[in-house]
Amino acid sequence: EVQLVESGGGLVKPGGSLRLSCATSGFTFSSFGMIWVRQAPGKGLEWVSSISSSGSYIYYADSVKGRFTISRDSAKNSLSLQMNSLRADDSATYYCARIVDGLDSWGQGTLVTVSS
């Protein structure tokens, strides 16, 4: 069974940093692209960042470019998102998902709150 479990969310002050992790199991992690998607409370889905199966291709939404860094560790079957210079509008539930011609598997999300 494919499983994705996010962790690392929490309360952080504006300008602070946070590192999210996504632990995966049940599939060959190194064969799939991965993605981070966020959802502010009561709002829609917003793409954050994508990374190819090899890690060679990385893409970011304009809203996070230069502040967030996506990475993957195939030895640990893990995806990460380093978030720096956090702002109030970064507050959201962050989901990791597997890319298979659509996002076919999602984690349950981790909540990030940016507030003083």
Partner 1 sequence: SSELTQPPSVSVSPGQTARITCSGDALANQYGYWYQQKPGQAPVLVIYRYSERPSGIPERFSGSSSGTTVTLTISGVQAEDEADYFCQSADSPGTYRDVVFGGGTKLTVL
Q: Which residues bind partner 1 (CB under 8 A)?
A: 33, 35, 37, 44-47, 50, 52, 57, 59, 61-62, 95, 99, 101-104, 106-109
By C-beta, is 2 or 15 nearer to partner 1?
2
- For the bound state, the minimum distance from the C-beta of residue 42 to partner 1, rounded and expressed in Å, comes to 10
Q: With beta carbons less than 8 A apart as the criterion, state whether 50 and 5 touch.
A: no
By C-beta, is 102 or 116 nearer to partner 1?
102
In degrees and rounded to multiples of 5, residue 34 shows phi and psi of -135, 160
The neighbour count for residue 95, using CB atoms within 10 Å, is 22
